Amino acid sequence: MFRLAVFVSGGGTNLQSIIDSVEEGFLSNVVIDCVIASKPDTYAEVRAHNAGIDTFVVNRKEFSDQTEYDSELIDKLSGRGIDLVVLAGFMCLLGSEFIRKYKNRIINIHPSLIPAFCGHGLYGLRPHQAALEYGVKLTGATVHFVDEEYDSGPILLQKSVPVYDTDTPELLQQRVMALAEKEILPQAVYLLANNKVKISGRRTIILEVQNND
Instruction: Report, as residue numbers or ranges, the catalytic residues.
Output: 110
- Show contacts with ligand GRF in window 42-61 (CB under 6 A): 44
CA-wise closest residue to 146 among 7, 3, 2: 7
Report the residue closest to ligand GRF, judged by CB. 89
Minimum CB distance to ligand GRF smaller for 75 or for 149 = 149
Q: Which CB, 140 or 190, lies closer to ligand GRF?
A: 140
- At residue 138, the 3 state secondary structure works out as strand
Stretch that binds ligand GRF, among 73-81, 105-113, 158-166, 205-213 (CB under 6 A): 105-113
Is 111 a residue that touches ligand GRF (CB under 6 A)? yes
**Position 38 contacts ligand GRF (CB under 6 A):** no
Nearest CA to 58 among 82, 90, 83? 90
Taking the complex as a whole, how short is the minimal distance between the CB of residue 121 and ligand GRF, in angstroms?
13
C-alpha–C-alpha distance, residues 138 and 113, integer Å:
9
Cα–Cα distance measured from residue 131 to residue 91, given in angstroms and rounded to the nearest whole number:
20
Contact region with ligand GRF (CB under 6 A), list: 6-14, 147-155, 189-197, 204-212: 6-14
For position 13 contacting ligand GRF by CB under 6 A, the verdict is yes
State the number of binding residues for ligand GRF (CB under 6 A): 14
Neighbours of 204 (CB within 10 A): 20
169 is a contact residue toward ligand GRF (CB under 6 A): no
The sheet with strand 155-162 has its strands ordered as 54-57, 30-37, 2-8, 84-87, 106-110, 138-145, 155-162
**φ, ψ of residue 193 in degrees (nearest 5):** -65, -20
> Does residue 184 bind ligand GRF (CB under 6 A)?
no
Site for ligand GRF contains 113 (CB under 6 A): no
Integer angstrom CA distances of residue 108 from 66, 114, 168, 190:
19, 12, 24, 14
Instruction: Candidates 2, 5, 7, 12: give the one binding ligand GRF (CB under 6 A).
Output: 12
Residue in 46, 73, 43 with CA at minimum distance from that of residue 59: 73
Note the residues at the interface with ligand GRF (CB under 6 A): 8, 10-14, 44, 88-89, 109-111, 177, 181
